[in-house]
Amino acid sequence: MRVQRPPGVSIEQIEGGVTAPSGFRAAGVACGIKKTGAPDLALVVAGAPAPAAAVFTTNKAQAAPVLVSREHLARSGGLARAIVVNSGCAHACTGPEGMAVARSSADFVASIVGCAPEQVLVASTGVIGVQLDLDKLRRGAGDAAKALSREAHGDAARAIMTTDRAPKSAAVSVTTPSGTFRVGGMAKGAGMIEPHMATMLGFVTTDAAIAAPLLQRALREAADVTFNAITIDGDTSTNDTVFLLASGASGVRIDEAAYPAFAAALREVCGSLARAIVRGGEGATKLVAVSASGAASDADATRAAHTIANSLLVKTAIHGGDPNWGRLLAAAGRAGVAFDVERATVRIGPVVLFKDGVPFDDRAPEAAAYLAGTDLEIEIGLGAGGPHAATVWTCDLSAEYVAINADYRT
């Protein structure tokens, strides 16, 4: 994703992840929720109650942490002081007891941080249908509170992992005519990924000063073209959540005039995290940008790109290095959008394999050589005569993905 940068604004990638912006500390610890003894609890704390925004899963079976965090944002007027995250237990489909545990975990964190319970946001990831052990979470939260620091962002990123192969963090420094601010974040996700939102958790911070309504607008717009434009397996989780907190510690105020600079920085961080999720997907060996162009509307372009990106036949062909343009064309044709095969185009990397009803099979070896790479681009022109386009990031489908998910609970 190429982010449009406003004139006079520079955006530089930096280290520091979720604590790169001033006004935030984090920690990650092991508290026994995971049977392996791996880190499984993260805490992110702002120096003072901060404007907060969120996007949540669209799955109708929503986990207790999602429901409680929705409640808290409504009750707090869009302010948050802390985020507590556990991995190893999704805390989903656990009934009234699960709701009580989620609320109690927020109450406990509020007591040790020194804020109102509604200013604590909660998130969980792991196996569905298992009650979260509140005693373990309390013990872990207490340990994490003692370990809070700006240097512990890596520990926090590792503590939210499940089947992720590596922690995922990103941060940028933004220089504007009004001053410099930062945006940083961390995320997890490797399977059950097709956000609207999906099994992914994302935690983003900024030290810009921005009101909650504008913050929510920025997060929604960024999520639509980043976290909502990725898919690994087409499944949407019960727990997906992205939180964004703004400490205001930089002193740079974001109003409508400064909004484009903030929006560009946020999209850069969210885009980096989203692509890292796909690149590190369960069993993935290739990151694939699937674009649909020449669409009659933005909605058609997005739907076509998602349909192609989720096709198991397309994903297995990519894994095998097979430039099977027919699978791409067939997926586009069943997407339920305006499509004209006699005006359609299929391109794998720089190689056009089909155009205006004519195949170019003699170019297949060149396309196969391109598919041997790990960062790939595929474009399908829908031939609908419109100017609209959309890109979705996906990965290949391997035997390792099947093995991971066949044994997930055993």
Task: Return the active site residues.
Answer: 199
Tell me how far apart the terminal alpha carbons of the chain are, to the nearest angstrom. 38
Distance of CA 159 to the CA centre of its chain: 16
Three-state DSSP at 234 gives coil
SS (H, E, C) 106-129: HHHHHHHHCCCHHHEEEEEECCCC
The C-alpha atoms of residue 136 and residue 231 are separated, in whole angstroms, by 33
20 contacts 184 by C-beta, under 8 angstroms: yes
By DSSP bridging, strand 79-87 and strand 120-125 are: parallel
Three-state DSSP at 56 gives strand
105 contacts 145 by C-beta, under 8 angstroms: no
Three-state DSSP at 4 gives coil
- Cross-strand partners of 26: 44, 149
For 76, the token pair is 């707090």
Q: Per-residue DSSP letters for 72-107?
A: HHHHHTSEEEEEEEEESB---S-HHHHHHHHHHHHH
For 73, the token pair is 């944002």
The C-alpha atoms of residue 400 and residue 398 are separated, in whole angstroms, by 5
The C-alpha atoms of residue 254 and residue 219 are separated, in whole angstroms, by 14
The C-alpha atoms of residue 194 and residue 385 are separated, in whole angstroms, by 28
34 contacts 40 by C-beta, under 8 angstroms: yes
Distance of CA 403 to the CA centre of its chain: 24
Cis bond upstream, residue 99 (ω within 30): no
SS (H, E, C) 288-315: EEEEEEEECCHHHHHHHHHHHHHCHHHH
